[in-house]
Amino acid sequence: MRRPLSSRAVWLATLWAGCSVLGCVAVGEENAGAAPSVADSIGREVQALFAKSRDAVVRIESKDRHGRLSGTGFFIDPNGTVYTSYSVGGESLDIVVCHGDMKYPARRVVADARSGVAILKVDAETAFLMPAKSRDLALASAVLAIGYPMEFPLTPSFGTIGGFDIQYQASYFALRHIRANLPVQRGESGAPLLNMRGEVVGILIARIDDGNASYALPIEAAEKVRKDFMRFGEVRPGWLGIEIEPASQPVAGSTAEIHDLLPESPGAKAGLRPGDVLLKVGDEPVHSPEDVRNAAFFLTADDELKIQVSREGAPMDLTVHPSDPPGSPRTARSTLPDAQTPGFAPGDANRALPLSIGP
């Protein structure tokens, strides 16, 4: 894990990112009075983005066995569908969505502990935010979060992308998360992370380094959960039954080698073998075992999947049909209309993560 940026480094990165995004040109001291400063330009851009997006962001109030909860969410369509974090809407009761002067009772549509997202629904026509591709982000890309910190009004936080991590200390996420160098506080769990076009690229789920930085779930993960529910009425994670380990040396640019396969697993039935090196899972290129873990999150049970491997130095294309994970009822942890979840399943990599923004 890289060290968090110093305050000076964050300041310099922020100025650089703002200059890159806005197309600013450095101005010499002799011309300083003739052109706006980089900081002024960034400030105006952030203010405009905040004004454009704020009407789609909501405060979420609820309670659990520990007491009252307060967090953030946002509308993702004009029909009252709300994304928030699992910590805010996954297991809580009496959920209320506060939108301006209005308060709407909300029903839980989906709560997915694996991704850390909850989807709520209110009966209202609403402003909403459009999703974008988080993969288009790069290191130092400028981003904006909008949330309800503690008991304060709606608040923007500006920062830059610090990394894309699947591991934090000794624990793993279910997929790569966006590490954003921007401050977050209690109550901002579930807030949208926006690019500088005002599109959602992630959902804040955890703070690190005493709140000086945060992790965001890529918006594609939340969309995967929502689309599963729209298709099947439940979340359908896919399972291949393969075990990956790092190869001793790269093969065709990949070190993701199949170490073992469970008998009668989808991977075994498709003809995968120990020693195969994965090159592509679906449309996703594979360079390391982490890439396989990330791609595996987006598998859907029963959907056809194309996999490319290198076997004895030659590329080979195979078709796999992922199945539901063995030993787990399909709906036990995913589709939870107005019900509590049993928590994380044993062995879920998210369970050990000591991270939370706090509702």
Per-residue pLDDT reduced to its tens digit, 111-140: 999 999 999 999 999 999 999 999 999 999
Residue scoring higher pLDDT (277 or 4) = 277
Q: Is the pLDDT of residue 267 over 90?
A: yes
Residue 267, H or E segment: helix 266-269
% of the chain surpassing 90 pLDDT = 73
- In DSSP terms, 74 is beta-bridged to 57, 83
Nearest to 220 by CA among 111, 305, 118, 115: 115
Q: Which residues fall within 8 angstroms of residue 288, CB to CB, at 6 or more apart?
A: 246, 254, 255, 256
Report residue 263's pLDDT band, with 50, 70 and 90 as the boundaries.
Answer: very high
Q: Which two tokens stand for residue 41?
A: 């330009």
**Residue whose token pair is 């962001």:** 57
CB half-sphere exposure, 60, CA atoms < 13 A:
40
Contact 320, 272 (CB under 8 A): yes
Chain length of the chain: 359
Distance (Å, whole) CA 295 – CA 300:
11
The pLDDT of residue 344 is: 21
Report residue 328's pLDDT band, with 50, 70 and 90 as the boundaries.
Answer: low
Q: Is the pLDDT of residue 65 over 90?
A: no
The pLDDT of residue 66 is: 87
Distance (Å, whole) CA 262 – CA 141:
41
Sign of CA pseudo-dihedral 261, 328, 206, 81: positive
The pLDDT of residue 35 is: 66
The pLDDT of residue 7 is: 42
The pLDDT of residue 326 is: 84
Q: What is the DSSP string of 17-68?
A: HHHHHHT-----GGGGGGS--HHHHHHHHHHHHHHHHGGGEEEEEEEETTEE
- In DSSP terms, 20 is beta-bridged to none
| Lowest pLDDT segment from 177-191, 215-229, 293-307, 340-354 | 340-354
Residue scoring higher pLDDT (306 or 331) = 306
Q: Is the pLDDT of residue 256 over 70?
A: yes
Per-residue pLDDT reduced to its tens digit, 180-203: 999 999 999 999 999 999 999 999
| Lowest pLDDT segment from 34-38, 55-59, 250-254, 338-342 | 338-342
- In DSSP terms, 107 is beta-bridged to 121
The pLDDT of residue 152 is: 94
Q: Is the pLDDT of residue 207 over 60?
A: yes
Alpha carbon distances (Å) from 70 to 26, 103, 118, 155, 344: 43, 14, 14, 15, 22
Cα separation of the two ends of the chain: 26
The pLDDT of residue 220 is: 98
Q: What is the DSSP string of 132-174?
A: --GGG--TT-EEEEEE--TTS--EEEEEEEEEEEEEETTEEEE
Nearest to 265 by CA among 309, 205, 327: 327
Per-residue pLDDT reduced to its tens digit, 74-104: 999 999 999 999 999 999 999 999 999 999 9
Q: Which residues fall within 8 angstroms of residue 120, CB to CB, at 6 or more apart?
A: 60, 73, 81, 82, 84, 89, 95, 97, 106, 107, 108, 109
The pLDDT of residue 329 is: 60
Report residue 33's pLDDT band, with 50, 70 and 90 as the boundaries.
Answer: low
The pLDDT of residue 37 is: 86
78: left (phi over 0), alpha (psi -120 to 50) or beta: alpha
Q: Considering the entire predicted model, what is its pTM?
A: 0.82
